[in-house]
Amino acid sequence: MDLDAYVAEHAGEWRRLEQLSRRRKLTVGEVDELVALYQRAATHLSVVRSRSPDPSVVARLSRLVLGGRSALTGSRSYSAKAVGRFFTTTFPLAAYRGLAWWSAVATVCTAVSLAIMGYVAANPGVPRLFLSQSEIDDIVNSSFVSYYSEYKPQNFALMVWTHNAFLSAQCLAAGVLLLPVVYLLWNNTLNLGLVGGVMIGNGHSDVFFTYILPHGLLELTAVYVAAGFGLRIGWSWIAPGRDRTRGKALAQTAREAILVAVGLVGVLFVSGIIEAFVTPSSLPPIVRIGIGLAAWGGFLGYVILLGRRAAVAGERADISEFERGADTPTV
């Protein structure tokens, strides 16, 4: 491509775009012209980058495109309304759209964990394949319970919050490859089943469920949601569906997963608070478990009720078409 000729051919359009972008008030006709010039400049930028990436021309076009975009969208600042919409519409809708995926993950992982618990509890020799007798005795007699009160509650809440957020992030980030998510889920499921089986097999099933249920219901559900969306990302490029390219399907699914990831930060924060302050507390077991059930049921109800309402209303769990950019070049 002759870059000098290309620049000379479109220089007039670029100057006009720059002029319109700087104006504070535009007529209806000028707005239409601005939109058309913005789309053309975005295409020109793509062409130059791919065929003749001259740094000065790329920089100039990038400034023009950003200026045009800013003129069309306006400056955006913090909005309580936007934050409220995220929590009442966008996040529950995104989570609801992936309900089949993460509910399937939760069902399979829970069933496998319980099966491992039962097998380990019924076969005392199995835990010794993974743990020494001293480690088993330590788990049963002290470390399982003391783990929840070893640190100051506020420090412990932060620790488990960041740990679970990191695990969820790994599930989302590795989703495009599918198998790493399965591996992470298997490790988590095996550890839960093994520790649970050791506690149950040694006559401490009441202790195990009293300490795992208050926070575990919400915490594990959040992890399963992240894993479900991770697998959904991976599957989107394998089976993109009708009228969608693999790239478009992957991008759309990943954008929804990012929305869910942001919402899960708050969910995991709540589970971390429960794990640090409720699980090891002196409250009666029924009260501690009741708090965990209330938090878990509240999350499920929140996602299903608000998500379904948003879906019926035709809301979107994705950015607008304008913000995504044109799917086809504009010349």
For every residue of the chain, which 3-state class applies, written as one string? CCHHHHHHHHHHHHHHHHHHHHCCCCCHHHHHHHHHHHHHHHHHHHHHHHHCCCHHHHHHHHHHHHHHHHHHHCCCCCCHHHHHHHHHHHHHHHHHHCHHHHHHHHHHHHHHHHHHHHHHHHCCCCHHHCCCHHHHHHHHHHHHHHHHHCCCHHHHHHHHHHHHHHHHHHHHHCHHHCHHHHHHHHHHHHHHHHHHHHHHHCCCHHHHHHHHHHHHHHHHHHHHHHHHHHHHHHHHHHCCCCCCCHHHHHHHHHHHHHHHHHHHHHHHHHHHHHHHHHCCCCCCHHHHHHHHHHHHHHHHHHHHHHHHHHHHCCCCCCCCHHHHCCCCCCC
Is 329 inside a domain boundary? no
Q: What is the pLDDT of residues 59-68, one digit of tens each?
A: 888 999 888 8
| 48 and 95 part of one domain | no
**Last-in-domain residue among 61, 76, 91:** 76
Is 247 inside a domain boundary? yes
Output the pLDDT for position 328: 45
Output the pLDDT for position 79: 61
Q: What is the pLDDT of residues 77-128, one digit of tens each?
A: 556 777 888 899 999 999 999 999 999 999 999 999 999 999 999 998 999 9
Is 68 inside a domain boundary? yes
| 109 and 257 part of one domain | yes
Output the pLDDT for position 75: 54
What average pLDDT does range 277-304 have in this prediction? 96
**Res. 327 pLDDT band, cuts 50 70 90:** very low
Q: Which has the minimum average pLDDT: 18-22, 135-139, 188-192, 225-229?
A: 18-22
**Res. 54 pLDDT band, cuts 50 70 90:** confident
Q: Please, are residues 229 and 102 in contact by the beta-carbon 8 Å criterion?
A: yes
The residue assigned the tokens 């009442």 is: 88
Total residues belonging to the chain: 331
Is 210 inside a domain boundary? yes
| 260 and 123 part of one domain | yes
Q: How far is CA 6 from the centre of its chain?
A: 42
Residue 320 has pLDDT above 80, yes or no: no
Question: CA 224, CA 226: separation in Å to the nearest integer?
Answer: 5
Percent of the chain at pLDDT exceeding 70? 94
| 229 and 256 part of one domain | yes
| 57 and 99 part of one domain | no
Which residue would you say has higher pLDDT here, 321 or 229?
A: 229
Residue 191 has pLDDT above 80, yes or no: yes
**Res. 319 pLDDT band, cuts 50 70 90:** low
**Res. 76 pLDDT band, cuts 50 70 90:** low
| 87 and 58 part of one domain | no
**Res. 318 pLDDT band, cuts 50 70 90:** low
Which residue would you say has higher pLDDT here, 221 or 171?
A: 221
Is 239 inside a domain boundary? yes
Is 326 inside a domain boundary? no
| 44 and 101 part of one domain | no
Residue 232 has pLDDT above 50, yes or no: yes
**Res. 322 pLDDT band, cuts 50 70 90:** very low
| 275 and 175 part of one domain | yes
| 207 and 285 part of one domain | yes
**Last-in-domain residue among 54, 76, 98:** 76
| 17 and 148 part of one domain | no
| 110 and 238 part of one domain | yes
| 251 and 102 part of one domain | yes
Mean pLDDT over all residues of the chain?
A: 89
Residue 306 has pLDDT above 70, yes or no: yes
Give backbone dihedrals phi and psi of 76, rounded to 5 degrees, phi first. Answer: -115, 130
**Res. 183 pLDDT band, cuts 50 70 90:** very high
Output the pLDDT for position 235: 93
Q: Please, are residues 180 and 226 in contact by the beta-carbon 8 Å criterion?
A: no
Q: Containing domain of residue 47, as a range? A: 3-76
**Last-in-domain residue among 42, 76, 110:** 76
Q: Domain tally for the chain?
A: 2
Q: Which two tokens stand for residue 186?
A: 């298997």
Burial profile 51-83: b = 16 or more Cβ within 10 angstroms, e = fewer: eeeeeebeebbeebbebbbebeeeeeeeeeeee
Residue 131 has pLDDT above 70, yes or no: yes
Angle at 327 between CA 325 and CA 331, to 5 degrees: 85
pTM attached to this predicted model: 0.75
Is 226 inside a domain boundary? yes
Q: What is the pLDDT of residues 252-261, one digit of tens each?
A: 888 889 899 9
Residue 72 has pLDDT above 90, yes or no: no
Torsion of Cα atoms, 258 then 263 then 266 then 268, to 10°: -70
Is 327 inside a domain boundary? no
